[in-house]
């Protein structure tokens, strides 16, 4: 029985087809058929295909007149014998286990569609397509818009019964994938995601690609996108009877189409400075908006942005005739907006909307020009004001450097919080015992006055000791006197994920120049154990003799019985349902960099955990502080056993009521090891995370607990008593031996002993 049919449309790919076929014939799943559709190639592609047909009996070769990739794929679907169908482009490559992973996921989860991660590659490098890595588990397009951002066919597996009547639309030469995939999403009962790399997509450097199509023929892309919208709109209306679901799907799909398929060619048309192309493109957008329901226009944030901000930012490229077309486009859009939309546009865009309203009312684009002139002048004044502020701060610092160093002055500075927390709080509390120590504190605050900022830089210049706990931008590039100690009291214990200079060249890293500015002024670094000193030396490019394993001040709390008893009682008083229960704490780290860190998809299935383990367990969710958009919604029936404490200030306090910690790549394991309680490592996306950050140690040998990749694994470990604390004790001694309850005292003694030097 054929388990999977792999359909490969081919057109003039003699340079690549051999690599593609090699990756298919070497798949770990053997019960497959390979259907190669030669769509009228004029090069030597067929000769290479024929050679493979002689060697492999499961390859079916079909030659047809050139009719386009959609026609070729449809031909393959009609003759496919497999229970499932996969698609592969003829210049791309499959990882060896790609089809097996998809098939296994489909069978085990009774899925109609399986979708997974993918990488792009060229002659120099490979990199992940982040939108395609959606974790492990079921997703429903009705409720999860992220499926709209993985709309290609080649990272998926389709049940043949699902798609045998869903053809690729042969009218489309752009975006045919997304129409086919969207129709399939709408018909599917179950869509299952796996967080593994299933595909290598070749980014051609010198030949045709979708990006080049947008660049070379943006008007064609716009016309095709308009047709795509009409098709998908009809599909939504015919597949869903619920009007609320219809409207929601339309808006979410429309925003995706506008972001990925309409704005890029519009932008390219504007940049071209070609009047004919600009007018045609803007007119097509006008017609597109004209046919949209008013509700779709005023609910689509992306559409409003394109018309009122996106095009305006490229106004200088418009010709005179194009400007007239743009005014008509503005009028059409404004007339379709409701009062609430107009209000929020005015609120969020300041005086821009006043000029747009005048432009529309008086039918004159001069008001757009007046707005741009006003903004230019305003930005110029802001620039001058900002430069003047920077000059004042530098003068305050330089003036301070001419003053004597105050040997008793210790400045604590952080941008992590607007309150004194963790290490700096413990240090400050201990320093307060000494009357002759002058402590200055500067916290995260965006509203500091010029006077306060000048005082801050003066304190930096005149302090004997400056203690930081993370990257600290206000000091980037500043140089201190030789006898000043700038001490990095890094916010994480141990050495787990690579950071600073060690992380350069990984996906989520800064440049060499950025790291130099951030870390070159450190004179000392504090760590939790001598074992990790070499890693901090490399990470901050500081001599290892200046890396001091004093221990981490905030860990002193684990040796204060009275304090621990007080905190435990306080938590139990606030959350009495945890008393007498076994508490599981799920504390994953963030993913990605920059704004990506704000979002996190919960892959732990709290329903399954509680249903399988029973009501004697409590599951506490504690996401990383960088995650501000978590979308955690706990069903009412589980609220007695599942608690979201992501906003709780100190995870170390939660450790005191925790029986089992579930994490992934978070450095919280070092502090938790001090309690010698069991841990589970839920590493469902290990491969992609290795590309993102990587580790100082081999992950599988390093972590002091069992590694699981799905929720079944979590349940199995806990239910069958497979937890082990022996490895945790060894881990603690190796990485946390200096955290013995005296860490703060050692650092304070260092300050006292060196303040006169």
- Do 294 and 200 share a domain, yes or no? no
Instruction: Tell me the pTM.
Output: 0.63
User: Beta strands 84-87 and 156-159: pairing type?
Assistant: antiparallel
Name the one residue in this structure whose structure tokens are 């418009």. Answer: 318
- Do 349 and 431 share a domain, yes or no? no
Structure tokens at 702: 């390093």
Measure the CA angle with vertex 197, ends 195 and 198; round to 5°. Answer: 110
Tell me which of 313, 332, 364 is where a domain ends: 364
User: Beta strands 485-488 and 524-526: pairing type?
Assistant: parallel
Query: CATH number, domain at 142?
Result: 3.90.550.10
- Do 575 and 647 share a domain, yes or no? yes
Task: Decide if 223 contacts 284 (C-beta within 8 A).
Answer: yes
Residue 533 makes CB contacts below 8 A (sequence gap 6+) with 527, 544, 547, 549
- Do 97 and 202 share a domain, yes or no? yes
Instruction: Report d(CA 285, CA 355) in Å as an integer.
Output: 22
- Do 392 and 419 share a domain, yes or no? yes
Nearest by Cα to 470 from 523, 533, 424, 429: 424
- Do 390 and 426 share a domain, yes or no? yes
Length of the chain (residues): 757
Is residue 370 one of the residues assigned to a domain?
A: no
- What are the mean pLDDT values of the chain's consecutive 10-residue runs (757 residues total)? 95 94 94 96 95 94 94 95 96 94 95 94 83 88 88 95 92 91 94 92 67 68 91 93 89 91 91 92 92 84 89 91 92 85 74 84 88 88 83 90 94 92 94 94 86 93 96 92 94 90 77 92 96 95 96 95 93 93 92 66 86 94 77 82 90 95 94 96 83 81 91 91 88 95 96 88
Instruction: Report d(CA 402, CA 397) in Å as an integer.
Output: 9
Measure the CA angle with vertex 114, ends 589 and 95; round to 5°. Answer: 80
Q: Around Cβ 146, how many Cβ atoms within 10 Å?
A: 15
Task: Decide if 609 contacts 715 (C-beta within 8 A).
Answer: yes
Task: Decide if 366 contacts 325 (C-beta within 8 A).
Answer: no
Please tell me the number of Cα atoms within 13 Å of 446 on its side-chain side: 1
User: Which own/partner pairs from 742-745 qualify as long-range (CB within 8 Å, at least 24 positions apart)?
Assistant: 742/551, 742/556, 743/550, 743/551, 743/552, 743/553, 743/555, 743/556, 744/426, 744/427, 744/429, 744/430, 744/553, 744/556, 745/430
- Residue 137 has a pLDDT of 87
11 secondary structure, DSSP code: S
- Do 547 and 445 share a domain, yes or no? yes
Is residue 749 one of the residues assigned to a domain?
A: no
Q: How many domains does the chain have?
A: 4
Measure the CA angle with vertex 713, ends 707 and 717; round to 5°. Answer: 80
Report phi then psi at 578, rounded to 5.
-85, -15
Instruction: Report d(CA 238, CA 241) in Å as an integer.
Output: 7
Task: Decide if 289 contacts 303 (C-beta within 8 A).
Answer: yes
- Beta bridge mates, 465: 410, 485
Instruction: Report d(CA 168, CA 178) in Å as an integer.
Output: 10
Tell me which of 175, 207, 239 is where a domain ends: 207
Query: CATH number, domain at 506?
Result: 3.40.50.11820
Q: CA Rg, the chain, in Å?
A: 30
- Do 225 and 81 share a domain, yes or no? no
- Do 352 and 302 share a domain, yes or no? yes
Task: Decide if 499 contacts 535 (C-beta within 8 A).
Answer: no
Query: CATH number, domain at 660?
Result: 3.40.50.12580
Angle between helices 743-754 and 422-431 (to 10 degrees): 60
In the three-class reduction of DSSP (H, G, I as helix; E, B as strand; rest coil), residue 490 is classed as: coil
User: Which own/partner pairs from 170-173 qualify as long-range (CB within 8 Å, at least 24 positions apart)?
Assistant: 170/67, 170/68, 170/70, 170/71, 170/74, 171/227, 172/70, 172/224, 172/227, 172/228, 173/68, 173/220, 173/224
Name the one residue in this structure whose structure tokens are 């597109």. Answer: 288
Is residue 754 one of the residues assigned to a domain?
A: no
Is residue 73 one of the residues assigned to a domain?
A: yes
- Do 483 and 549 share a domain, yes or no? yes
- Do 623 and 694 share a domain, yes or no? yes
446 secondary structure, DSSP code: T
Tell me which of 207, 233, 260 is where a domain ends: 207
- Residue 633 has a pLDDT of 77
Task: Decide if 147 contacts 139 (C-beta within 8 A).
Answer: yes
Is residue 756 one of the residues assigned to a domain?
A: no
Is residue 742 one of the residues assigned to a domain?
A: no
258 secondary structure, DSSP code: I
- Do 60 and 202 share a domain, yes or no? yes
Instruction: Report d(CA 209, CA 757) in Å as an integer.
Output: 64
Is residue 371 one of the residues assigned to a domain?
A: no
Is residue 280 one of the residues assigned to a domain?
A: yes
Nearest by Cα to 526 from 405, 420, 647, 427: 427
Domain that holds residue 717: 561-735
Burial class (CB in 10 A: 0-12, 13-18, 19+), 163: buried
The CA-to-CA distance between both ends of the chain, in Å, stands at: 81
């Amino acid at each position: 029985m054929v388990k999977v049919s792999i359909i490969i449309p081919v057109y003039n790919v003699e340079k690549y087809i051999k690599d593609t076929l090699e990756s298919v014939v070497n798949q770990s799943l053997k019960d497959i058929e390979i259907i190669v559709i030669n769509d009228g190639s004029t090069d030597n592609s067929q000769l290479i295909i024929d050679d493979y047909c002689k060697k492999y009996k499961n390859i079916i070769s079909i030659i047809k007149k050139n009719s386009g990739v959609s026609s070729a794929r449809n031909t393959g679907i009609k003759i496919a014998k497999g229970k499932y169908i996969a698609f592969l482009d003829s210049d791309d490559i499959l990882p060896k286990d790609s089809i097996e992973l998809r098939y296994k996921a489909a069978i085990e989860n009774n899925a109609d569609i399986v979708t997974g991660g993918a990488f792009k590659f060229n002659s120099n490098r490979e990199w992940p397509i982040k939108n395609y890595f959606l974790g492990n588990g079921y997703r429903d397009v009705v409720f999860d818009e992220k499926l709209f951002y993985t709309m290609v066919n080649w990272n998926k597996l389709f049940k043949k019964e699902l798609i045998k009547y869903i053809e690729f639309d042969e009218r489309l030469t752009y975006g045919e994938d997304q129409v086919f995939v969207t129709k399939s999403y709408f018909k599917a009962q179950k869509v299952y995601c796996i967080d593994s790399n299933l595909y290598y997509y070749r980014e051609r450097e010198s030949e045709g690609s979708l990006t080049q199509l947008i660049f070379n023929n943006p008007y064609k892309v716009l016309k095709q996108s308009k047709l795509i919208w009409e098709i998908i709109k009809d599909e939504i209306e015919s597949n869903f009877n619920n009007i609320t679901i219809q409207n929601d799907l339309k808006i979410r799909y429309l925003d995706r189409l506008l972001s990925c398929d309409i704005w890029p060619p519009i932008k390219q048309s504007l940049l071209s400075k070609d009047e004919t192309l600009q007018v045609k493109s803007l007119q097509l957008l006008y017609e597109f908006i004209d046919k949209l329901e008013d509700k779709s226009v005023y609910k689509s944030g992306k559409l409003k942005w394109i018309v009122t901000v996106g095009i305006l930012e490229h106004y200088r490229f418009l010709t005179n005739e194009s400007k007239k077309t743009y005014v008509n486009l503005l009028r059409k859009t404004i007339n379709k907006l409701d009062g609430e939309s107009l209000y929020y546009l005015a609120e969020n865009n300041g005086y821009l909307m006043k000029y747009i309203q005048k432009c529309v009312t008086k039918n004159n684009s001069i008001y757009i020009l007046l707005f741009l002139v006003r903004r230019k002048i305003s930005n110029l004044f802001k620039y001058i004001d900002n430069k003047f502020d920077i000059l004042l701060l530098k003068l305050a610092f330089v003036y301070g450097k001419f003053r004597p160093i105050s040997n008793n002055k210790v400045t604590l500075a952080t941008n992590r919080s607007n309150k004194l927390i963790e290490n700096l709080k413990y240090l400050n509390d201990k320093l307060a015992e000494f009357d002759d120590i002058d402590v200055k504190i500067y916290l995260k605050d965006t509203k500091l006055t010029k006077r306060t900022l000048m005082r801050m830089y003066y304190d930096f210049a005149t302090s004997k000791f400056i203690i930081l706990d993370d990257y600290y931008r206000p000091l980037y590039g500043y140089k201190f006197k030789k006898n000043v100690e700038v001490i990095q009291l890094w916010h994480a214990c141990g050495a787990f994920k690579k950071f600073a200079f060690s992380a350069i060249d990984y996906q989520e890293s800064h440049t060499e120049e950025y790291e130099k500015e951030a870390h070159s002024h450190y004179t000392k670094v504090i760590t939790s154990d001598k074992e990790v000193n070499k890693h901090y030396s490399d990470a901050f490019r500081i001599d290892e003799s200046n890396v001091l394993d004093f221990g981490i001040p905030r860990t002193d709390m684990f040796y204060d019985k009275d304090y621990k008893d007080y905190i435990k009682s306080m938590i139990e008083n606030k959350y009495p349902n945890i008393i007498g229960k076994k508490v599981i704490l799920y504390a994953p780290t963030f993913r990605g960099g920059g704004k990506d860190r704000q979002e996190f998809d919960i892959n732990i299935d709290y329903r399954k955990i509680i249903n399988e383990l029973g009501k004697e367990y409590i599951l506490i969710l504690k996401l990383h502080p960088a995650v501000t958009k978590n979308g955690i919604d706990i069903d009412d029936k589980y609220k007695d056993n599942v608690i979201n404490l992501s906003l709780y200030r100190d995870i170390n306090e939660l450790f005191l009521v925790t029986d089992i910690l579930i994490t992934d790549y978070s450095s919280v394991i070092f502090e938790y090891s001090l309690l010698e309680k069991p841990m589970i490592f839920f590493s469902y996306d290990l491969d992609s995370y290795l590309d993102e950050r990587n580790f100082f140690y081999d992950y599988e040998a390093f972590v002091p607990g069992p590694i699981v990749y799905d929720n079944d694994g979590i349940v199995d470990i806990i239910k069958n008593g497979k937890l082990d604390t022996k490895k945790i004790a060894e881990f603690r001694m190796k990485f946390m031996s200096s955290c013995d309850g005296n860490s703060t005292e050692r650092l304070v003694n260092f300050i006292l002993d060196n303040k006169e030097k």
